[in-house]
Amino acid sequence: MYRMISRTLLVLLHISLAKGNSVPQKYSHYDPRTSMYLQCDHCPPGTYVKQDCSTEKNTECAPCPSHHYNDRWNSNTECQFCNVVCKELQYVKQQCNSTHNRLCECAAGFYLDLEFCVPHKKCHPGYGVAQEGTPESDTVCRPCPEGTFSDSTSATARCQKHTDCKKLGIKVAYQGDSDHDTLCQPEGSFCEIDITLCQEAFFRFVPNNWLTAIAQRPPSTMVSSQYIEGVQEKRDPQEHAFHLFKLWKDHNRESESGKHLFQDLQVCEKKVSKHIGRLNVTATQLRTLMKSLPGNKISKRELETTVKICRQPDQVLKLLNLWRNKNGGDTINLLKVIKTNRLQKMLRRTIKKLEQFLNSDEMYRLYQKLLLEIFGSQTQPAKVDFK
């Protein structure tokens, strides 16, 4: 037993020396047997004096019992009790052990002010975080210097540089200040999309028995055979109908059937806008959405330009459009397989509702009506299985 204690003390001594702690001076002990004051060795951290030294032997040290500690070289005849109890909004950073009392720390977002954990101060618009708060100190705010801004109330957001409209290739509409970003002049041509979700849904969900008719004779204004042959040569056979209808749309904007088509599709567009318009997504959430899409990714610059230039309700639709053009993909099917578990709750629900709406019986009836208006009632289209 004595050997085990000696080894423990030796290990503790080595640890203490490795940390750079020097062994303190000896303590004075009166020995009644010899009537002399002896100079005894202190016991290392994590132990206490079990038996003072004598003329025959050195100080005998023993490890601190459970829930007790000594944090320095000592001549104590017992260890101290771990008496620290973590308060509300604190967590145990370090459990009690033989060399340390229990250590508590304020939870994230709070710091210790006297005896209580209080929330970190938030910097108001026009001010950015110069130094983030810690469990021991509050947030330090500073006014945003020239050329930077902060438009939020936050305990973590720093001042950001104003958007460089020139770098984006567009003009300045409003010069930014300390609490507003520079507003670039809207670039309509960039934010426009070549085909809307409703148009794509209509063009893609064509019943199989219409495919031959579409390929052989696009309705109303004829599309030149050169364009049709180009589609048939360069596109996957399953994509022929979609791209032929897209050609027909571009050639028939002013025709009677084209006007009917776009008027009826506005019903769909309004409902899509209603779904998307409820979103209040951040650039980070849009970035997560883009990362969850398969295939070729949207570039960082395309994402930043979309966020800076396009109105918020149009940002999701524009990014989906960019993805489709980059991948030659099917946005409607994409909405079914997108990894929504990575997305913020509101965005996840919106994508799901959008997908359900575009694949609903209500939309099928609209597709059927539009096809009959364009082709007449020559052939009755078979109902499409959207499942």
pLDDT digits (tens, 9 = 90+) for 274-289: 777 666 778 888 888 8
Q: Are 262 and 373 in contact (CB under 8 A)?
A: no
Considering the domain architecture, whether residues 238 and 348 belong to the same structural domain is answered as yes
3-state secondary structure of 160: strand
By CB neighbour count within 10 A (0-12 exposed, 13-18 middle, 19+ buried), where does 28 fall?
Answer: exposed
- Which are the contacts of 149, defined by CB distance < 8 A and separation ≥ 6? 126, 159, 160, 162, 176, 177, 178, 179, 180, 181
Domain-ending residue, one of 64, 81, 98: 81
Sign of CA dihedral 247, 250, 255, 256: positive
- Give the span between the Cα atoms of 346 and 148, in whole angstroms: 31
Query: Is 98 a domain residue?
Result: no
Query: Is 87 a domain residue?
Result: no
Domain-ending residue, one of 185, 208, 231: 185
Q: Give the number of domains in the chain.
A: 3
Q: Are 203 and 241 in contact (CB under 8 A)?
A: yes
Q: Are strands 116-119 and 110-113 parallel, antiparallel or unpaired?
A: antiparallel
User: Which one-letter DSSP state was computed for residue 100?
Assistant: B
Q: Which residues of the chain have pLDDT under 50?
A: 1-20, 208, 211, 215, 218-220, 377-387
Q: Please choose, from the candidates 181, 144, 187, the residue with its C-alpha nearest in 3D space to the C-alpha of residue 164.
A: 181
Tokens of 55: 């003329």
Q: Please choose, from the candidates 332, 13, 335, the residue with its C-alpha nearest in 3D space to the C-alpha of residue 204.
A: 332
Considering the domain architecture, whether residues 233 and 288 belong to the same structural domain is answered as yes
- Residue 174 sits in a domain whose CATH number is 2.10.50.10
Considering the domain architecture, whether residues 124 and 170 belong to the same structural domain is answered as yes
Q: Are 144 and 127 in contact (CB under 8 A)?
A: yes
* pTM, 2 dp: 0.46
- Give the span between the Cα atoms of 356 and 334, in whole angstroms: 12
Considering the domain architecture, whether residues 51 and 124 belong to the same structural domain is answered as no
- Give the span between the Cα atoms of 43 and 70, in whole angstroms: 10
Query: Is 313 a domain residue?
Result: yes
- Give the span between the Cα atoms of 128 and 171, in whole angstroms: 27
Backbone φ and ψ of 349, nearest 5°: -65, -40
- Give the span between the Cα atoms of 340 and 347, in whole angstroms: 8
Query: Is 352 a domain residue?
Result: yes
Domain-ending residue, one of 158, 185, 212: 185
Query: pLDDT at position 278, please?
Result: 64
Considering the domain architecture, whether residues 145 and 221 belong to the same structural domain is answered as no
Considering the domain architecture, whether residues 145 and 32 belong to the same structural domain is answered as no
Considering the domain architecture, whether residues 246 and 153 belong to the same structural domain is answered as no
Query: pLDDT at position 210, please?
Result: 53
Query: pLDDT at position 22, please?
Result: 61
Considering the domain architecture, whether residues 329 and 245 belong to the same structural domain is answered as yes
Q: Please choose, from the candidates 54, 24, 57, 17, the residue with its C-alpha nearest in 3D space to the C-alpha of residue 42.
A: 24
Residue 6 structural domain: 2-81
User: Which one-letter DSSP state was computed for residue 97?
Assistant: B
Alpha helices by DSSP H, listed for 104-196, are: 165-168, 188-191
